[in-house]
Amino acid sequence: MKSNFHTHTYRCGHATGEDIDYVNSALRAGISILGFSDHTPWPYKGEYKPQVRMDISQLDGYIYSILSLKERFRDKIDIRLGLECEYFEEFIPWLDELAQEKNLYLIFGNHFPTSAIDAEYFGHSTKDKAHLDYYVETVLRGMEYKRFLYLAHPDLFMRAYPHFDEICEKASRRICEKAARLGMPLEFNLGGYQLGADRGKEECYPHEKFWQIAADCGCSCIIGFDAHSNAALEREDTWKKAVDIIRRLGLKRLDSIDQIVPR
Ligand SMILES: [Zn+2]
Ligand SMILES: [Zn+2]
């Protein structure tokens, strides 16, 4: 079964297309469950306008739009409503209440260590051991949050790290061992294929050495398109490539978040 629980919308400021375009692309691609998980807004104090996520004032519109599409396409495709979130401790009570009230599924994307306005993006900062360790520490902490269904792009650090070396191996093992212990699936993120190609970076995520370790640790995985354009959902090549690698490594793949055992 083809499904995707990692879909963005134009609201985050770095994705394109209307919400309905994603639904139509998913239908063309034969996707049976389409989960929207745009970058969550946060209740920042003051006038701060985030650059990589929707403003909190757009949240109701997002929810309304996705639920309307869910209703409209109910006979054709199973649409789900969620958010991709960092673990910012001070905002967790707010997120808890929101997820409960609106019945949202949450995926964990550890893009930033803190909610500070000048916090560095891990996809750019993890070029050395110190930053990679910081990434791992914050991942391990956030994984404890019970509402996170799975960890998105666990090997995000390979967006910046030059070559997968022994340091990466140790870091990967720490993440995978924890995921296995918690029974938390790891996302095999297709978005990294495009990023690596665009930037001419030979080693990006999803990195096979990371996934070999995940397989050794007995982790389960779920494929996510991390679609920032509706066209991404129609890419058959990256989906096939992922399915082949997962099969070859002997990783257990989940089709749906419904198969994740609540913690
Ligand atoms: Zn994004
Ligand atoms: Zn994402």
Instruction: Give, rounded to a whole angstrom, the gap between the first and last alpha carbons of the chain.
Output: 25
Ligand approaching nearest to the C-alpha of 37: 2
Q: Distance between CA 205 and CA 109 in Å, rounded? A: 14
- What pLDDT was estimated at residue 102? 98
Residue 227: strand, helix, or coil: strand
109 C-alpha to ligand 2 centroid (Å): 7
User: 191 CA distance to ligand 2 centroid (A)?
Assistant: 8
Q: How far apart, in whole angstroms, are the C-alpha atoms of residue 111 and residue 113?
A: 7
Q: Summarize pLDDT for 12-55 with one digit per residue, the tens.
A: 999 999 999 999 999 999 999 999 999 999 999 888 888 899 99
Ligand nearest to the CA of 191: 2
Q: Which tops the pLDDT comparison, 127 or 262?
A: 127
Which residue matches tokens 């389960």?
Answer: 220
d(CA 108, CA 211): 18
Total of domains in the chain: 1
pLDDT, tens digit (0-9, with 9 covering 90-100), for 140-154: 999 999 999 999 999
Distance CA 19, CA 221 (A): 26
* Distance in Å, CA 11 to ligand 2 centroid: 13
- Which ligand lies nearest the alpha carbon of 108? 2
120 CA distance to ligand 2 centroid (A)?
17
Of 110, 115, 107, nearest to 86 by C-alpha is 110
Token pair 């083809």 is found at 2
CA of 72 to the centre of ligand 2 (A): 25
Q: Separation of 161 CA from ligand 2 center, angstroms?
A: 19
Evaluate if pTM is beyond 0.85: yes
* Helix, strand, coil share of the chain (percent; to 5): 45, 15, 40
**Tens digit of each residue's pLDDT (9 = 90 or more) over 77-110:** 999 999 999 999 999 999 999 999 999 999 999 9
Q: How far is the CA of 211 from the centre of ligand 1 (A)?
A: 22
pLDDT of residue 263 exceeding 90, the answer is: no
CATH number at residue 212: 3.20.20.140
Residue 1 near residue 256, CB atoms below 8 Å: yes
Distances (CA, A) of 73 to 24, 66, 77, 180, 195: 10, 10, 6, 36, 31
Q: Which domain holds residue 11?
A: 3-259
Residue 6 CA to ligand 2 centre (angstroms): 6
